[in-house]
Chains A and B, each alone.
Chain A
Amino acid sequence: MWTDLLIKLALAGIVLFAVLNLAGIQTWLERKQSALMQDRVGANRAVFYLPWRWAAPINWVLRKLGGVGLLHALADVIKLLTKEDFIPSSGAPFLFTLAPWISVFFALVAFAAIPFGDSLQLFGRTVDLQVAHIDPALLYVLALASLGVYGVILAGMGSGTNLSALGGLRAASQMLAYEIALGVSLIGVVVWFGTLDLQELIRQQGTYLFGWIPQWGVVVQPVGCLVFMTAALAETKRVPFDLPEGEPEIIGYFVEYSGMKFGLFFLTDFVETVLVAALTTVIFFGGWQVPYLGPHGFAFPWGGAIELSRLTVVLLGVGAFTLKVSFFIWLFMAIRWTLPRFRYDQLMALGWKGLFPISLANIGLTSLLRVLVH
C-alpha cells in the first residue's frame, strides 16, 4: 500500500520535474531557435558568479551556461517573481487571481495519463511508467485540455477591460471550433486500435504491418495525424493560431497581468506545447516504441537481433519518448516562427469547414478499412 503510494508519488514527481524543466528549457529553446531562424545570436547575457575563491570551476561552468543563454530562464523567473503584482480595479480580483492557476493546473494535471515508458518490474510489482493508469485516458487528457480554456476565459473576463474580454471571447470560440476537430480526428485512431487506453494504444503501435512497417498512428491514420496536429497547435494558442493573444490586434487576454501571474500563463503556454507534443507522440508516433525493439532487445525484420536487458529496453523507450517529444516541440516552434497569424473568421472557417469535415470523412474511411481488413 505504502509502496504503491510512494511509487505513484515518485512517478508524479518525475513527470512534474520533467515537464517543468522541459518548459523552462523551452523558453531557452524558443529564444535560440528563433534567433537561429532569424540570423540573430539570441540570449547570451544572463549570468551570475559565486563570490568565493574555491568556486572558480563552478563560475567557469556558469560563464559557459550564460554564454549560451541557459541562465536566462532563471533571470526570467527572478524578474517575474519580483515584479509588482498588479490587479486592475476594474476587474474581479478573485477571478483575476484564479485564472492563471486554473490554466496551469489543468495543463499539468493532464500529464498524469501520459505514459512515458513501458512497464517495469520494481519491488516485485509491475509498474507502468505512467502516473495514473486510466482506462479512457484519451478522454481524460482531452477533457483536461478543454478545461484549461476556462483559465483564459476567466482571465479575459476578470480583467474587466475590453481588450482582454475580446481575447477571452476569441479563446472560447477558438476552443470550441478546434476541440471538436481535435476529438473527431482521434476517433479514427480509436476505431483502428480499438482502445482509449494510451498505454494499450502504444503497445498496439509496436506491431508491424506486413512484418516490417511499424504500425504507428501516423502510418495508419496520416490524415487524422495532420488534422490532429493542426488542431492541437490551435489548442496551444500559438502562432498561427494565437488569436486570443494576437498582440498587434487585441494584445490578448493577459494584457492586465504582470509578475508571476503572467509568468503562469507563460508557463502554461510552454507546458501545453509539451502536452501537445507528448500527445502527438503517444497517439501517432508510437509513444515510447522504438522500431524493432521488442521486450528482449532488437529483432530486425531482416534477421539480425541484439539481446538487451529489460531495464535497458525500458530506458531506451523513455529516451525515445523524450526525443520524439523534443522533436515535436522543435517542429511547433519552427512553425510558430515561420507563419503569420490567421484572422478570426478565417480561423473559424478552417476549423468548421476544413478540419471538421475532413476528420469526419476520415472516420468513415477508417471504419470501412477496419471492417475490410478484419
Chain B
Amino acid sequence: MSDTHVLPLEPHTRSTETRHMFLNIGPSHPAMHGIIQITAELDGERLLATDVEIGYLHRGFEKMCELGPYNNAIPYTDRLNYVSPLINNFGYCWAVERLMGIEAPERCQYIRVILSEISRITDHLTCVGASAMELGAFTVFLYMIKAREVLWELIEAVAGARLTISYGRVGGVKADLPEGFAQRTHAALEEVRRVLIECDKLLTRNRIFVDRMQGTGVISKELAISYGITGPFLRGSGVNYDVRKAYPYFVYDRLQFDVPLGSTGDNYDRYLVRMEEMEQSMRLVEQALKQIPAGPILVDGGGQAIPAAAMVDLAKLGQTGGMKRVNVVTDPTLGGSTKSFHCGINAPERRAVLPPKEDTYGNIEGLMHHFKLVMMGHGIRPPQGEVYAPVEGANGELGFYVVSDGSDRPYRVRVRPPCFTIMAALPDLLIGGMLADLVPTFGSVNMIGGELDR
C-alpha cells in the first residue's frame, strides 16, 4: 500500500529550489542595541535556527576590579547595569562588607532599599517602554521615559549624578538623603503612577499589543530553572523566586511586598509582572520612607564606633603565625617592608570609611585612619576569604562573588549577571517563532550590555 500513488509533485520540486535565508540581525540593528548579533536562518519569516553572539561590550570589568583597591571597583559597577546602577553599587559594597564582617548602619540600609527600589522602577520603565517602542508604540516609550526622568531627578538629588552615580560605599553610602526627600519622592511616585495608569490603558488591553505579546517567547518553568534564569523572566513563568524574599538582605524582611507571578511564561506575562513589580517597588519605597530611622549613614565615619574587640591586633592575642616569615629588608615605599605579610599578621582591618575631615586634621588617630585608607598599598583590607552576595537586580539575581587574599585588592570579583543566563536561553525562545517575535522577546529579556558582557 505504501507505493500506491506516485507523487505528481516530483518533477516540480526538482525544478524549484528552496533555500533558507540567512539573516544577520545586528550588531548594527535598531532592536539589538548595537551590541548583539543574532544570526538567523529563516524560512520565509519563520526562524529555523538562531545563533546569539554576545561580547560586543566586553570591557574586562572583572579583571579591572583586580587591578585596584576595593573602592576603585565601585565606579566600575555603575557601568554594569547602567539603567539601575544603584543596585549594582549596593550589591558590590554589601559583598565587601560581608567579607569584612561589618554591617552598614540601619539608616543606610533603608536608604539602600529606597534607592534600589527607585532604580528597579527606572529599569522596568525602560524595559517596558523600549519593548513597546520596538513594537511601534513610540508614544508609550516617551511617556515612560518621562516618568523615569522624574525618578532620575530624585536620584540626582541624592547622589549628585544620574547615571554614573558611584553612591555606594563599603560601610555605608556617600551622602545622606537631602532635605525634603520624602515629599519629593511621594510627588514623584504620584507622577509615575499616573504615567503607569496611562500606559496601562494604552497597552494592557490593546488588542494589537496583546496579540504581539501573548504566546510569543514562551519559556517553561523547568527550562527557565535549568538555564538558571532569575528575576521577572523567571517569575513570568510562575516560579516564586525573589532574592528579596528568599534571602532577605538590607531591611527587606521588615517591609511588606508581594511577588507578582505569571503563569504561561510568555512575553505578555513578563510585561504584566514588570508592571506589577513597579507598583510593589513604589509600595516598598513608601514603607521604607515611613520607617527610616535617624542616625549615621556610614559605619565608622558618622560617629558609630566599631567595637574595640573587632580592632584588636591578632598578634596581641598570640596569633603571630605570619610574623615569623617576615623577611626584613629596607623598603623605600610607604607600604613598608612587611607589606607582603600584612595579611598574615595584621588585625582584620574593619575601617572602611574615611574619617571626617575635622578628625583627619585634628588628631593623630584621625590622620592615621585617613592614611591607612588612602595611601597606596593600604586601603580597605578584608581578611582572607570569599563571599557571594546576591541582591535582586532589576533583571534578576545580581550576585557579586568576591575573593580576598588579605591584600588591599580583590583577588577575584565575579559578577553573576542576570541577563547572561537569559541570553543563553534566547535561541530556545526564538526558534519556531516569527522574525517579528524576536522584537518583543528580545525586549522582554531587557538585555543590558554593560551587565551582560562586563
Contacts and interface: CB of A to CB of B under 8 A. Distances in A.
Contacts of A342: 208, 211-212
16 contacts: A37-B139, A39-B142, A39-B143, A166-B21, A166-B23, A166-B435, A242-B136, A248-B135, A249-B31, A338-B139, A339-B206, A341-B136, A341-B212, A343-B434, A344-B436, A346-B208
B202 A338 contact: yes
A204 to B, nearest CB: 36
A38 interface: yes
Interface in B122-163: 132-139, 142-143, 146
A94 B139 CA distance: 38
B22 A162 contact: yes
Contacts of A239: 136
Nearest to B142: A38
Contacts of B45: 166, 344-345
Nearest to B216: A343
Contacts of A240: 136, 208
A250 interface: yes
Contacts of B438: 249
Interface of B: 21-24, 29-31, 45, 132-139, 142-143, 146, 202-203, 206, 208-209, 211-212, 434-439
Contacts of B21: 162, 166
Contacts of B212: 340-343, 346
Interface residues on A, range: 20 to 34
Nearest to A242: B136
A343 B437 contact: yes
B33 to A, nearest CB: 11
6 tightest A-B CB contacts, nearest first: A341-B136, A248-B31, A248-B134, A340-B135, A340-B137, A38-B142
A240 to B, nearest CB: 6
Nearest to B40: A162
Interface in A229-285: 239-240, 242-243, 246-251
Contact of A251 (B30, B203, B206): B30
B435 A249 contact: yes
Q: Which applies to chain B's interface (DSSP): helix, strand, loop or mixed? A: helix
B23 A248 contact: no
Q: Which of B22, B24, B134 has the most CB of A within 10 A?
A: B134
A37 B434 CA distance: 31
B444 to A, nearest CB: 13
A249 B132 contact: no
Nearest to B21: A162
Interface string A339-360: 1111111100000000000000
Interface in A288-343: 337-343
Given A162-B21, A162-B22, A163-B23, A341 B208 contact: yes
Contact of A343 (B137, B143, B211): B211
Given A340-B209, A343-B211, A247 B30 contact: yes
A339 B436 CA distance: 16
A284 to B, nearest CB: 24
Given A249-B438, A342-B212, 10 more contacts: A38-B142, A39-B143, A162-B24, A166-B435, A248-B31, A340-B136, A341-B212, A343-B212, A343-B437, A346-B211
Q: Which of B24, B30, B211, B436 has the most CB of A within 10 A?
A: B436
A40 interface: yes
A344 B216 CA distance: 14
Contacts of A166: 21, 23, 45, 435
Interface of A: 34, 37-40, 162-163, 166, 239-240, 242-243, 246-251, 337-346
A251 B31 CA distance: 9
Contact of B23 (A40, A162, A338): A162
Nearest to A334: B139
Contacts of B211: 342-343, 346
A335 to B, nearest CB: 11
Nearest to B208: A340
Contact of B143 (A38, A162, A249, A346): A38
Given A38-B142, A242-B136, A249 B439 contact: yes
Contacts of A39: 142-143, 146
Nearest to A241: B136
Contacts of A37: 139
A34 B21 CA distance: 36
Contact of B139 (A38, A163, A247, A343): A38
Nearest to A346: B211
B358 to A, nearest CB: 47
A131 to B, nearest CB: 35
Given A345-B434, A346-B211, A340 B142 contact: no
B142 A40 contact: yes
Contacts of B209: 340
Nearest to A250: B435
Contacts of A40: 142
A346 B216 CA distance: 13
Contacts of B138: 34, 38, 337
A243 B439 CA distance: 13
B436 A337 contact: no
B436 A249 contact: yes
A337 B434 contact: no
A247 B31 CA distance: 8
Q: Which of B134, B139, B146 has the most CB of A within 10 A?
A: B139
Nearest to B436: A343
Contacts of A163: 23
A237 to B, nearest CB: 12
A224 to B, nearest CB: 22
B35 to A, nearest CB: 15
A339 B29 CA distance: 22
A246 B436 contact: yes
A323 B138 CA distance: 27
Given A248-B30, A250-B435, A251-B30, A339 B208 contact: yes
Contact of B136 (A34, A38, A162, A339): A339
Contacts of B203: 340
B74 to A, nearest CB: 35
A251 B22 contact: no
B296 to A, nearest CB: 41
A163 B32 CA distance: 15
Contacts of A250: 435
Contacts of A38: 138-139, 142-143
A337 B22 CA distance: 33
A341 B21 CA distance: 24
Contacts of B137: 338-340
Nearest to B212: A343
Nearest to B138: A337
Nearest to B29: A251
A240 B134 CA distance: 12
Contacts of A343: 211-212, 434, 436-437
Contacts of B30: 247-248, 251
